[in-house]
A and B are shown apart, each in its own frame.
Chain A
Amino acid sequence: MAAGAAPRRGGTIVVAMGADPPTLNPQFTTLPYTWMIAMSVYSSLIRLDPAMTPHPDLAESWAISPDLRRFTFKLVRNARWHDGTPFTSADVKFSFEEIARKLNPSGSQVFGDLLGVDAPDPYTAVFRFSQPQPALLLYLDVPLTGAVLPKHVYAGTDIRQNPANAKPIGTGPFRFGQWTRGTSVTLERNPEYFRPGRPYLDRAVFQVVRDPAARDVALENHDVDFIIGYDLALYDTIPLRMRKDTRVVFTVDRAISGQWWIGLNNAKPPFKDVRVRQAVAYAINQQLIWQRVFFGLGKIATGPISQYLGPQYTRDVTKFAYDPQKAAQLLDAAGYPRGAGGVRFRTRFTFDGTSAEFSRIADLLKVNLAAVGIEVDLESFDFNTWFDRVYVKHDYDMARGRHLSGPDAVTSMRIEYDSKNSGPSQRNFYAYQNPDVDRLLAAAAVEPDPAKRLEMTHRLQALIAGDVPVVFLMDTPQPNAYRSAFQGLDNNPYGAQRLENVWVAA
């Protein structure tokens, strides 16, 4: 097919999902399936392109005060909710004051300084903050915290139990059709979408296919057209890329991307001692993990921010290349000499069976650490037990860790490495504590000067990487696999696809 062929109206896309989403309200979950469905049903004030530049969506234009505390959005006038009610600034006010700030799991982090949203007229919304918000626009797209929900549906109800969480009413390019639990979610084209001529597709079906091999076969048989990156292990993409009728696209530019690491319990010995943590970093052969577990895909991590996050990342940090001798010296210096049988101390690695990668990493870790005299007991649990031990009870020594880095590096590091966020179920389960890092994080979060903020972002990465709160292993981009008959998929920073511009060749 010729590139640049004219988009065609009509057709259906079938997207495979590895599990049934718990809700279709993107303000309540970070699950990619819900994001992707929500990106077609709901709109946001702005949307981000692959370079993380904001573009108009429900906001035609916006103005930001020089102190970054006042954000004024001028709204489109022709948007309607799928039930026919006109969209106004009251919806924006309600969405951010009542839902995003209070009920979104990340809401207190992103909208903690929000004083209020004013609606001076139906088509103007003004966000007022007590502190400068240099990263706000990165959090106003539909995924994470930005979806705009209908006030007339949610106001005065129990928002968590509202039926619209399962039968969403949005302003987006597709209307909700039906949700058969355990089977599929169907969306139908919205003929009254506020952007004329969009969307191209008539329908979008999100079908639950739990088994990874069955998803691959279904893509090959054309029973499904698209597999979400969240459901694709990086090595699954190798055979997929060899097929002629399938295209695999990685989010590479400046995207929210995966990071893999081994969390160390900084709260108690032996990992309370920074020398022991550094020794573990030296003892692990990252190169081997990259080759044997990730098959040379992705990049070896150097610090707390993924290399795929663009200019926010810096390479200028202390690196811990594989060096067992240095590891042994550090362990001797830290007061852990080799004892009987050459063993310095015994420790545990706690992981869950949901990731094939970590099962393999566990084996390599055991061998690598045994070589420097650390004996590792491997503990594997189901996700919920693992979560309870590691996140809630902090009953672990070493634990598998994986997260999405971005879109804002400072916010990511704040969630991850601020000592205030080390309570039960919070991200800093390694209980990492560095007062310098805490201070710099707080300052960078409200720094209005972009150049200064970037410099602080880089300094933070150097500080954290040197402390080895966790052993950074891999940075991985998010792959998406789809039949090449489909065109117009956008490569946004979230790895979830907006279906508005997608069309299928006849």
Chain B
Amino acid sequence: MARYIARRLLLIVPLACAVVVVNFVIVHLAPGDPVNILVGEYGATPQFQAELRHRYGLDRPLVTQLGIYLQHAARGDLGYSLYFNESVVGLIASRLPATLLLMTSQLAIALGLGVTLGVAAARRPYSLTDNCASVVALVGYSMPVFWSGLLLILLLSTTLGWFPSGGMTTVRTAATGLAGAEDVLRHLVLPAITLALVNLALYVRLTRASMLEVLTFDYVRTARAKGLADRAVLVRHALRNALLPVVTVTGVDLGRMVGGAVLTETVFAWPGVGTLMYTALQTRDYPVIVGSFMLVSVAVLLANLLVDILYAVLDPRIQYR
């Protein structure tokens, strides 16, 4: 097992390098460059633009630029944002906590509620509970977040005044300490629910389907025949095996989480990695684009490894050599 993990961890290095090279080439192939944005529509003399391109090394051959980038990246230096004039590592680090908070919260809601609803639905297929769970899940999944988010704001923020409409903190008062934590929590509720609504469907349907399959197995019948309580059969015997596909999907989601959620972050003015990446794409901020893509790919690779390890824990039949 330890050797397996070590091998997988080592594999991440060449994979991350490949991701960097591919991303680097792709973003530079996109039309336009950062100088356009820095100069703006107001225009500037050709000499001025040439000087800017030279200063950022954009006038050098792409291979040279890539070489310089890889050299620095190997030392943990992802360069400076052309748009913000700040270190890429610093920019991403400043956005990551907000993103992780939002994404873990929404995942906890979606996973907890989704698995519960899924089990309840599988217990009596095609019952009222099952149909209701499916309808709720599908409606949530079908609503685009920029719309469901605004509906939630109109109802829970504008009309009822329970939650703030956006941002991560109340900028007017800037509370700290415990009051500050409560303030963040109040701002977190709406975006977390909005995102969870979308992901809920996946977990409900997956749990339900998987449970239905497992419930037909012989060992479940044996457990029932032994006279075990319904609850114990469902949770301890069936659910544990039915969870394998759910774990896979959660794992993939975990990796994607560091990428944030562009639309939700936009609607709720949540200062996460998603909007940073989006701004970077729009402004052709090459170092930020490549840096954040690399972060996301490494996170996905790590999450996949974690899933594989969890498999072995959940299902003793799986062994790694």
A interface with B by C-beta (< 8 Å): 12, 14, 19-20, 22-23, 28-31, 105-106, 108, 160-161, 165-166, 180-184, 186, 205, 207-211, 213-214, 217-218, 220-221, 223, 381-385, 387-389, 391-392, 402-404, 415, 421, 423-427
Which of B58-66, B105-113, B149-157, B298-306 has 4 or more CB atoms under 8 Å from chain A?
Answer: B149-157
B85 and A382 contact, CB distance less than 8 A: no
B contact residues, range: 35 or more
B85 and A208 contact, CB distance less than 8 A: no
Given contacts A22-B83, A384-B36, A427-B42, contact A209 B166 (CB under 8 A): yes
Q: Is the interface of A mostly helix, strand, loop or mixed?
A: mixed
B48 and A217 contact, CB distance less than 8 A: no
Given contacts A205-B172, A382-B282, A425-B43, contact A223 B167 (CB under 8 A): yes
Q: Is the interface of B mostly helix, strand, loop or mixed?
A: loop
B153 and A217 contact, CB distance less than 8 A: yes
A105 and B42 contact, CB distance less than 8 A: yes
**Which residues of A lie under 8 Å from residue B153 when comparing CB positions?**
214, 217
- A19-B275 Cα distance, complex, nearest whole Å: 10
**Which residues of B lie under 8 Å from residue A31 when comparing CB positions?**
40
A221 and B266 contact, CB distance less than 8 A: no
**Which residues of B lie under 8 Å from residue A23 when comparing CB positions?**
85
Closest 10 CB pairs of A and B: A384-B32, A388-B32, A182-B271, A105-B44, A427-B43, A388-B31, A183-B271, A385-B31, A205-B171, A209-B269
**Which residues of A lie under 8 Å from residue B283 when comparing CB positions?**
22, 384
Given contacts A217-B150, A217-B153, contact A105 B166 (CB under 8 A): no
Given contacts A182-B276, A223-B164, contact A105 B95 (CB under 8 A): no
A210 and B43 contact, CB distance less than 8 A: no
List the B residue with the shortest CB-CB distance to A31: B40
> Shortest beta-carbon distance, B207 to chain A, in Å?
33
Other-chain residue from A22, A166, A415, A425 in contact with B46 (beta carbon distance below 8 A): A425
B interface with A by C-beta (< 8 Å): 30-33, 35-46, 48-49, 55, 83-86, 91, 94-95, 146, 150, 153-154, 157-158, 161, 164-169, 171-172, 174, 265-269, 271-272, 275-276, 279, 282-284
- A176-B276 Cα distance, complex, nearest whole Å: 23
A424 and B86 contact, CB distance less than 8 A: no
List the B residue with the shortest CB-CB distance to A103: B48
B42 and A30 contact, CB distance less than 8 A: yes
A392 and B164 contact, CB distance less than 8 A: no
- A387-B167 Cα distance, complex, nearest whole Å: 31
- A421-B46 Cα distance, complex, nearest whole Å: 9
Given contacts A181-B91, A385-B32, A391-B36, contact A425 B44 (CB under 8 A): yes
> Shortest beta-carbon distance, A505 to chain B, in Å?
16
- A181-B93 Cα distance, complex, nearest whole Å: 11
Central interface residue in B32, B37, B84, by most chain A CB within 10 Å: B32
Given contacts A384-B37, A425-B43, contact A207 B167 (CB under 8 A): yes
List the B residue with the shortest CB-CB distance to A386: B32
- A217-B166 Cα distance, complex, nearest whole Å: 9
Other-chain residue from A20, A186, A213 in contact with B171 (beta carbon distance below 8 A): A186
A388 and B166 contact, CB distance less than 8 A: no
Given contacts A30-B40, A182-B95, A425-B49, contact A221 B33 (CB under 8 A): no
B150 and A213 contact, CB distance less than 8 A: yes
B267 and A211 contact, CB distance less than 8 A: yes
**Which residues of A lie under 8 Å from residue B265 when comparing CB positions?**
210
Other-chain residue from A19, A30, A186 in contact with B279 (beta carbon distance below 8 A): A19
- A161-B153 Cα distance, complex, nearest whole Å: 40
